[in-house]
Amino acid sequence: MTSHQDLDSQKKAAALQAVEYVRDGMVVGLGTGSTAKHMVIALGEKVRAGMQLRGVPTSQETAVLARQSGITLIDTDNRWEIDVAIDGADQVDPGFNLVKGGGGALLKEKIVAGSAKLFIVLVDQTKQVPVLGGSFPLPIEVIPFGWGSTAREIEALTKSRVVLRQRNGAPFKTEAGNLIVDVHLARIDRPRDLEIALNQIPGIVETGLFVGRTDILIVGRPQGVETLHASKG
């Protein structure tokens, strides 16, 4: 059984490998979550050593950590071009498709990933799965208005249980003021088809499916870090 400390070490090793892709003067998309936290801290060390870079955070939590680490942040209300975005994932399949959104930042994470010239994903080995779904639900961000009807349509489409995410006894609210429903799918065999179908349902803001977006996957393992490149074509 892999301990939490061992997994954290794997995440940190993957993060240290990822920041080697960052060059002086770049604009960097800063992901959210436990693995991305190591990445932000590592970038802060590069900044203190003299590297010039600017960051686009995917959450308030990441923004706070970036500022504490000395990273200059870009006004996120403006138009920006991101050289490289680095983020974690809750699941990754052999085709480099992801499930993200366990931390509730999936909307900003997908906007940043979509704006980046290079999208690097960091995971420990436990996040690699033969097929998405099963052990981790699919998060979907929905607007509060009529969310119950939206959830019913998701259930009808997926034939799966849909649960409103709660925190401290109240509905979880994203930074955009929306809700998240977690869809408990046994398996997601065709993630691209599912993403397209879900996006047809009124009330869905964004899904936690990241399909065909990953350029580089960095996996932390007990024996070291493995770097995999997506074959896109």
Point out the residues that are catalytic. 109
Distances (CA, A) of 100 to 49, 52, 89, 96: 32, 29, 5, 12
Length of the chain: 233
Q: What is the Cα–Cα distance from 191 to 197, expressed in whole angstroms?
A: 10
Q: Which of 127, 126, 124 is nearest to 99 (CA)?
A: 127
Q: Please, which residues have CB within 8 angstroms of residue 230's CB and are 6 or more apart in sequence? A: 96, 214, 215, 216, 217
Q: Which of 76, 66, 86 is nearest to 22 (CA)?
A: 86
Alpha helices, H only, 59-183 = 60-68, 106-115, 147-158
Q: Is 203 left (phi over 0), alpha (psi -120 to 50) or beta?
A: left
DSSP secondary structure letter of residue 59:
S
